[in-house]
Copies of this chain bind each other. A is one copy, B any other.
Amino acid sequence: MSWTITPAHIDGLARGAAVLGTGGGGDPYIGALLARQALTSGDVTVVGLDEVPDDALVLFVAMMGAPTVMVEKLPSLAEVIEPVKALSVHLGRPVTHIACAEVGGVNSTIPIAAAAALGLPLVDADGMGRAFPELQMVLPTLYGVTASPLAFSDEKGNTGVLQTADNSWTERIARVACVEMGCSVMISGFSMSGSAARESLVAGSLSRCIEIGQRIATAREEKSDPVDAVVRLLGGRELFDGKVVDVHRATTTGFARGRARIDGDADRSLTLQFQNEHLVAEADGTVLATTPDLIMVLDGESGEPITTEGLRYGQRVRVIAAPADERWHSDAALAMVGPGYFGYDMAAHRFDGSISTGTVSAGATA
C-alpha cells in the first residue's frame, strides 16, 4: 500500500530512525531539517516493497562519512541528487525508485530529500534494519548485489563513479575519497531490480521508524515511560540505567571511533564501544550485547535517542538492546559485521543473552 510522506511525519521518523540507527546514521535534527526543506518542493510517495515492479531500477542514496563531520556540513539538495544523476547517466537508463541503505537520523531522511527533488517514489525498506559504519555492510551484499557502480559527490563540485572488484573495495576506495573530500560525501549505488530489492531489503523500515517516533511522543504525552515503550515495540530489553561518566572519541580514517563508560547503582558500570554505531555493551566484565544486534542509548526520561557523537559527560541514559534482522546472524553476515570484524575478540552475543550460532541461511551468493 502506498502512502505519502508529509512534513508532519518527519520529526517522528527522524527520531525513530535515530533509535534504530544504534548511535550512528547521523543526527536526527540535521536529517529532519533536510527532509522538511525537500518536501516543500513536492510530496514523496512511499511504496511497499511488494509494489515495486520486477524491472524497477532501485538505488540507495546515503551520506557517507564521519557523523562528527556531518553535523557541521549540511548538504544542499543539489548535492544530494548529484550522485543519482551521475549514476543514471552511467547506467544509461532512468532510475525508478529510491531506497534507504540504512536506518539512521540522516540516512533515513536523505533519501526522502532525494526522492522529493527527483520526483521519484521511495521504497518503504532499507538495506540493514539498523545502521552500520561501512558501505558493504548491507544485506544486499549477502545476496550478490554489487555496490558498483557507485557514485559519490561533494559540495565542491567533485563527483566520482566507481566500478570495483567487490563491495569491500567500493568501501575502501570511496572511504579514502570521502576522507580527502572532507569526511562527508553523498553516495548512490547498489542499483538493483525490484525482485532483487524484494529479496534482500528489510521491509517496512520507514513505517517502523514513524511508529517508534509516535510511541515515544505518545508516552511523553501520557506521562508513561518512553524507553519502555520502545523496548516493548522492538521486542528488546533494557540493559542498563546510569550516568555517562567518560567518553573517548576520535575521528580517524573517516570514522568516529570510541568508547563510553556509564555508571549505575551499586558500583555497577557499563562500557559501550562504538565505530559510528554502538557495537559492544559490557557490564562488569560480562558481554551483554554485541553487533549485529541493536544497542541503543536513550535519554533516561524523554526516550530521546542519543547518537555516539552526542554522548556527553553527565547524561542520564538508559541502554537498551533489540534483535537485528535474523539474516545478520548467518555465518556470512557475522564475518562481515560480527564483533571479530571490528577487532573485538568475542563471539556475537545476542541481546537475549545467548551466543549467535551463525547458522541462518542468508542468500544464495554469500
Is B160 a contact of A163 with CB atoms below 8 Å? yes
Of all chain B residues, the one with the shortest Cβ separation from A86 is B163
Q: Which of A131-176 contact B (CB under 8 A)?
A: 156-165, 169, 172-173, 175-176
Report how many copies the assembly holds: 2
Chain B, residue nearest A154 (CB): B165
- A217 lies within 8 A of chain B by Cβ: no
- B160→A165 contact, CB < 8 A: no
Once bound together, how far apart are the Cα atoms of A65 and B213, in whole Å? Answer: 50
Please determine whether B163 and A162 come into contact, CB atoms closer than 8 angstroms.
no
Task: Check A287 for interface membership: any CB of B closer than 8 A.
Answer: no
A231 proximal to B (CB < 8 A): no
Kindly identify which residue among B86, B162, B177 contacts A176, using a CB–CB cutoff of 8 Å: B177
Interface bin, chain A: 20 to 34
The residues of B that contact A86 with a CB separation of less than 8 Å are: 163
> Could you tell me the distance in whole angstroms from the C-beta of A168 to the nearest C-beta in chain B?
11
A161 vs B148: C-alpha distance when bound (angstroms): 12
- Determine the residue in chain B with the shortest Cβ distance to A169: B158
Closest to A156 in B: B165
Q: In whole Å, how far is A257's beta carbon from the nearest beta carbon of chain B? A: 19
Are B160 and A162 interface neighbours, CB within 8 A? yes
Asked if residues A165 and B157 are in contact (CB atoms below 8 Å), the reply is yes
**A176 near B180 (CB under 8 angstroms)?**
yes
Q: Is the CB of A173 within 8 A of B180?
A: yes
Instruction: Report chain B residues within 8 Å CB of A173.
Output: 158, 160, 177, 180-181
Q: Which residues of B contact A245 (CB under 8 A)?
A: none
Of chain B, the residue at the smallest CB distance from A161 is: B161
Question: What are 8 A-to-B residue pairs whose CB atoms are below 8 Å?
Answer: A156-B165, A156-B169, A158-B162, A158-B169, A159-B163, A172-B180, A173-B180, A176-B177
Which residues of A come within 8 Å of B, CB atoms?
86, 90, 156-165, 169, 172-173, 175-177, 179-181
9 shortest A-B CB distances, which residue pairs? A157-B165, A176-B176, A176-B180, A158-B164, A160-B162, A159-B163, A156-B165, A161-B161, A173-B177
